[in-house]
Amino acid sequence: MGAIKTKQVERPFSRVERHKLLEWFYLKDDKGEFGHAGQWAIKRDFDAQNPDPELLKIIYSDRSLPTSINPPSATSQPSLVASMLELLKLQRGMNVLEVGAGTGYNAAMMQEIVGRTGHITTIDIQDDVVDQTRRLLKASGYGGIEVIAADGAQGFPQNAPYDRIITTVGCPDISFRWVEQLADDGFMLIPLQHGGEGFDPLVRIWKEGERLLGRLVGFSRFMSIQGELAIKQRPDFGDFVALRSREPTAVYPLFGIFKEMVESVKNKQEDQFIASLLFMVIVGDKKPFNWVNWVPPSFWDEEKGVVVIRENGIALYGDESLLADLKSLSDQWEGLGRPGFFDWRLEFLPRDRVPEIREGEWAWVIERKFSREIVRLA
């Protein structure tokens, strides 16, 4: 698939045995007994000492495997793990903080790269996850990884400064405690939520003098972080699933970029429309606020309702002025020359700081829980 680009990342994939960091996982099944947010699943127990060949095929396929339903936890999709490891640019001897321990799979990968002279600290807010992960990592030969039970937003100052900080959960905001614990020449790799839950551009963030700057470097879809950084997702996933099952107020013909979105989804070429979705999230902000459900793409406005982009047209649930809002955003994107996913420059300020934007600058401000994100077009 091309996710592994260097020998440095290829090596841990040949050494870390994913199945030895699992004792069970959940598979989607409409008849399953475990339900959350409108979806159902079955639990499959797994014995690493006597592995079921069919379950091994699933474990070593390119898929995320949920290991807890509510609250959620999972082992990430291997191709995403590889992409993020490439973006981290780890070196021997580095000190790394990971927020979101999961099964310990990613932490073990990083430990292989930083070697015996490096150190990995991984944090998870769920005590039972920490207990299991600590035990399985030790049994797999990675007992030197520190697995901490705590709210990841606090970081872990005892082991700071960190050359790299990575979160393996979707974050509605950054934590300034991470910034304090980051080495001056280090950087963070954060799946930073833009728009709705599950639309998580990978953002590299670093310190430059007194400024905190960032660039988009990739894309991901993660479960959302719990604890201090968490927000109430809008709309709730279960409510949205229920809404989509109803008859729409009206259905309008597809136009412009939305025709391309439908074709991209059908052809599994998501990269072609992620750039336009990101633009709508940033520029439209909450009018319409973007809540991305990939099949089909969907847009939400707190006061007006929801529009869903389907193969047969644009389905409206609410005020018809939402269609005009979408068309306006689409026209702006076209008028600016279709800005790409990597054409943005980011800066982060505490909420009590007023952003400075020059006259005529193509810049927007995203208000987050603890920070203000200034997003500029290059």
DSSP state of 44: E
- Phi, psi torsion values for 137, nearest 5 degrees: -65, -45
Catalytic sites, residue numbers: 76
Half-sphere exposure of 88 (CA within 13 A, CB side): 33
What is the rounded distance in angstroms from the CA atom of residue 141 to the CA atom of residue 119? Answer: 14
Diameter of the chain measured on Cα atoms: 66
Alpha helices of the chain — where are they, by DSSP H?
7-15, 53-59, 78-88, 105-114, 127-139, 176-181, 237-244, 257-266, 271-284, 321-335
Inter-residue contact 275 to 259 (CB < 8 Å): no
DSSP state of 241: H
What is the rounded distance in angstroms from the CA atom of residue 373 to the CA atom of residue 360? Answer: 18
